[in-house]
């Protein structure tokens, strides 16, 4: 299952280092660090979050298509 790890660059509650560890632990995951983002990144940067979620959904669709072929 595709996984996207998204973190705000200035998120001190869930720091970049923690997100990086999660990304490294989940094979095939992506890591996106949103410049200037803090802990409420979906509210602060909704366009970037939406873009990352759309990309994740495309990855899910691609994997489902490949599995059905």
The reply to whether the predicted model has a pTM over 0.75 is yes
Residue corresponding to tokens 């999660």: 22
Model confidence pLDDT, tens digit, residues 8-39:
999 999 999 999 999 999 999 999 999 999 99
Q: How far apart are CA 62 and CA 8, in angstroms?
A: 27
pLDDT at 11: 95
Better-scored residue on pLDDT, 18 or 1:
18
- Give the CA angle between residues 27, 66, 68 to the nearest 5°: 125
Model confidence pLDDT, tens digit, residues 42-59:
999 999 999 999 999 998
């Amino acid at each position: 299952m595709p996984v996207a790890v998204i973190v705000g660059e200035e998120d001190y509650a869930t720091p970049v280092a923690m997100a990086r560890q999660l990304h490294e632990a989940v094979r095939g995951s992506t890591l996106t660090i949103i410049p200037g983002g803090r802990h409420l990144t979906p509210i602060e940067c909704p366009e970037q979050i939406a873009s990352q979620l759309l990309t994740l959904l495309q990855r899910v669709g691609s994997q489902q298509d490949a599995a059905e072929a």
